[in-house]
Amino acid sequence: MTKIITLLLKRYRKFPASIWLILSILTVSIASTWQSSQASTPRNLQPAKKPISQQLAAEQYAQNAPAQLTNLLTQIDAAANQGDVKKVIEFYSPNFTHGDGLNRQTLEKALIDLWKRYPKLRYTTQLQSWRTEGNVIVAETVTNISGLPSANSNNMALNATIKSRQRISGGKIVRQDILTERTLLTSGSKPPQVDVKLPQQVRVGQQYNFDAIVQEPLGDEFLLGTAIEEPIQADKYLNPTPVDLELLNSGGLFKVGRAPSTPGSQWLSAVILRGDGMTMITQRLQVVKK
């Protein structure tokens, strides 16, 4: 067993996590002090079902939405499912801005890189709400993205859910902000089933828990893993981040962090690996004023 642990540590010590967060065409410093904490009761990893009233409201919004808006979302999904970067970018204004610092050019580069690694992603976008502000349509959407393992993606499967807000003028997206984001990457024959507990929003300077709990009994198995926190910046969409994996002494990662003193967004990720599989879950944390 000691030899197996040593080999895995040697092989995965530097894990090339690109943070893989260039995940949506409709999306697409933590001064943190990590310390041990107690795990709380695990929750099911599966996303909670949307309340019926919320689902009906979303359907009603879609039915009453302007044809210009619904056609735009349908066309973007279709172009993305075909992997047609040039066609997708045509739906974005030359003056497009993004809450994460992207512009039209960097978004295009990010999509090209993503679709090289995941050539058969499937996009499905649902309209949640919309309103008009003069000649501008403000729409909130939820985009689900899925991709099966492939040689290009190092045989990793991808599933992501991203809620975003778009400002649309003249049939083009002129501004985009990500409201919530969750990405799941898995590989191997038996990736760990992991439940992540992290608030969607914290106040500046607030302490918070970040737990990633492995759901199955470990038995004689061992785990490697790490927690990653990064401020969300445009260059992070394009440049990989090396990750150091360490031997875990318990059934998951249990950390405590403190939000920075200025508002902004962070990516927090948990990477957990065992002999027959790997799981990486990333969520967006919004840091807001008090």
> Quick one: pLDDT at residue 71?
93
Q: What is the pLDDT of residue 53?
A: 56
Distance CA 171, CA 196 (A): 38
pLDDT (average), residues 272-282: 89
Q: Residue 42: pLDDT above 60?
A: no
CATH number at residue 173: 3.10.450.50
Prediction pTM value: 0.76
What pLDDT sits at residue 10? 44
The pLDDT mean for the chain works out to 79
- Average pLDDT of the residues in 169-183: 94
Average pLDDT value for residue range 278-283: 92
Residue 197 to residue 128: CA distance in whole angstroms: 25
Q: Which residue's entry shows tokens 């394009």?
A: 238
Over residues 264-289, the mean pLDDT reads 90
* Lowest-pLDDT choice from 11-15, 33-37, 75-79, 183-187: 33-37
Split into its structural domains, the chain has a count of: 1
In DSSP terms, 159 is beta-bridged to 146, 184
Domain, as residue range, for 143: 2-288
Query: Could you give the dihedral angle defined by the CA atoms of residues 117, 146, 191 and 35, in that order, rounded to the nearest 10 degrees?
Result: 90
- Top pLDDT among 235 and 227 is at 227
Length reported for the chain: 290
- 19-39: average pLDDT: 31
Residue 49 has pLDDT above 90, yes or no: no
Closest CA to 177 of 123, 246, 102, 228: 102
Task: Determine the pLDDT at residue 56.
Answer: 57
Cα separation, 265 vs 180, in Å, equals 10
